[in-house]
Chain A
Amino acid sequence: MALEKPYKDVPGTTIFDAEQSRKGYWLNQFCVSLMKPENRARFKANERACLDEWPMTEEQKLAVMSRDLNRCIALGGNIYFLARIGATDGKSFQQMAGSMTGLSEEEYRDMMISGGRSIEGNRYTHEWEKK
């Protein structure tokens, strides 16, 4: 019997479950390597060479190089791991989160200051399909 995954019915959200974790294992472990200053420096000097040392898929490597966090997450990345890339780039969590929403950095910051994204209309995937 298949497992129940009601969280698939939440719009704009990818839950990092065992299936995603398996897909993203090496992508996330690469991110862990960026916790060491020397690895951050090596990555900055030559991103491609650094990524080629990991058994990641080509898609994952391209998603990292283009800093497409939504794509990284679709390919199994988890935001707490991906945050190491942002930290290496000197980005804050707010800049990283905002980059996934289609808003500019300023628009996202303003949205948060005025109370954040409302829950209304953002609970179920069908609510987004109508948009």
Chain B
Amino acid sequence: MARITASVYTSHVPAIGAALDLGKTGEPYWQKVFSGYEFSKAWLKENTPDVIFLVYNDHATAFSLEMIPTFAIGCAAEFKPADEGWGPRPVPVVKGHPELAAHIAQSVIMDDFDLTIVNKMDVDHGLTVPLSLMCGQPSEWPCPVIPFAVNVVQYPVPSGRRCYQLGKAIRKAVESYDAPLKVQVWGTGGMSHQLQGPRAGLINREWDNAFLDRLIADPAGLSQMPHIDYVREAGSEGIELVMWLIARGALSDKPPKVAHRFYHVPASNTAVGHLILENQQ
């Protein structure tokens, strides 16, 4: 049977991708960000899974206002890096895992989570920046990736509670897949940031660190946090953090092993948070 081995959490700031692609990683400003991922790159080399289930949000790239699915699972064989207006990022095409994706879709929908199934989709920085942070600049990504897009563009986004429960349904789906695959679930986005209006630039270091503490130790309690707390305390775009609860819900009920924790302000407009939690079966 397949099993979930670990979860990875990270911000996905577009400027991080630009810094990598333009060779600015050595600059002191960016060095402080990338230093937090040195451990992670080595860890991923040691612990390469067979599949990454990558929870992220599309930034008005694959989904315009014509269609806004709350939860969309990518079931295609491959996903091309999108042109977000600056030209596509020079990163490898993302190979999918259509068999496992279809299995998870069927299992999770049977568990009352009405996913949108996507068989053709480009992926934006929300998906490729976490891969770059964890893998560096390889010519191929280390394994297939199932993109799982969550609407955090048009309010209301799904609640933390719903996301956490969905994570549990994903765990159940993976554990019923009849092949010995090691699967990691990644949750991306956040941490505190606001990109719009006169309050842009908001950062809440204390709140972010409390979020990390609770994500590790009290995810069920954390999942009860209402929308307004994210918006008010972590900024209008900080609400992306609900996606981390999907990844956390996918771990077993035993306390996870904290393999790595990192927090840094700023990357562009954003507080960068990063965790690696190893699943304890």
Q: Which residues of A contact B (CB under 8 A)?
A: 6-7, 10-18, 21, 25, 28-29, 31-32, 34-37, 40, 69-70, 73, 78-81, 83-84, 86-88, 92-94, 96-98, 100-102, 108, 111-113, 115-119, 122-124
Query: Given that A87-B86, A119-B207 are known contacts, is A93 also in contact with B15, CB under 8 Å in the complex?
Result: yes
Other A-B pairs beyond A17-B154, A28-B64, A97-B195, 4, CB < 8 Å: A15-B155, A31-B60, A88-B85, A115-B205
Q: Cβ of A115 and Cβ of B197 under 8 Å apart?
A: no
Nearest A residue (CB) for B13 = A93
Give A112 to B272 CA distance when docked, in angstroms. 12
**A109 CB → nearest B CB, Å:** 9
Give A126 to B224 CA distance when docked, in angstroms. 27
Q: Cβ of B202 and Cβ of A69 under 8 Å apart?
A: no
Q: Which residues of B contact A28 (CB under 8 A)?
A: 60, 64-65
Give the one of B15, B265, B266 with max A CB within 10 A: B266
Q: Residue B201 contacts which of A40, A78, A86, A97 (CB distance < 8 angstroms)?
A: A97
Q: Residue B233 contacts which of A11, A69, A78, A123 (CB distance < 8 angstroms)?
A: A123
**B88 CB → nearest A CB, Å:** 10
Q: Cβ of B271 and Cβ of A94 under 8 Å apart?
A: no
Asked whether any CB of chain A lies closer than 8 Å to the CB of B145, the reply is no
Q: Cβ of B83 and Cβ of A35 under 8 Å apart?
A: yes
**B127 CB → nearest A CB, Å:** 15
Q: Cβ of A83 and Cβ of B266 under 8 Å apart?
A: no
Q: Cβ of A115 and Cβ of B265 under 8 Å apart?
A: yes
Q: Cβ of B156 and Cβ of A84 under 8 Å apart?
A: no
Q: Cβ of B232 and Cβ of A123 under 8 Å apart?
A: yes
Give A54 to B31 CA distance when docked, in angstroms. 44
Give A70 to B227 CA distance when docked, in angstroms. 23
Query: Given that A69-B196, A119-B202 are known contacts, is A80 also in contact with B59, CB under 8 Å in the complex?
Result: yes
Q: Which residues of A contact B153 (CB under 8 A)?
A: 16, 78, 80
**A78 CB → nearest B CB, Å:** 6
**A37 CB → nearest B CB, Å:** 7
Q: Cβ of A6 and Cβ of B228 under 8 Å apart?
A: yes
Asked whether any CB of chain A lies closer than 8 Å to the CB of B203, the reply is yes
Query: Given that A18-B154, A40-B85 are known contacts, is A83 also in contact with B59, CB under 8 Å in the complex?
Result: yes
Asked whether any CB of chain A lies closer than 8 Å to the CB of B14, the reply is yes
Asked whether any CB of chain A lies closer than 8 Å to the CB of B116, the reply is no
Give A79 to B152 CA distance when docked, in angstroms. 12
> What are 21 inter-chain pairs, A to B, with CB distance below 8 A?
A6-B228, A32-B60, A32-B64, A37-B87, A78-B60, A80-B59, A83-B59, A83-B85, A88-B85, A92-B268, A93-B14, A93-B195, A94-B15, A97-B201, A98-B200, A100-B196, A102-B198, A111-B201, A112-B266, A116-B201, A123-B233
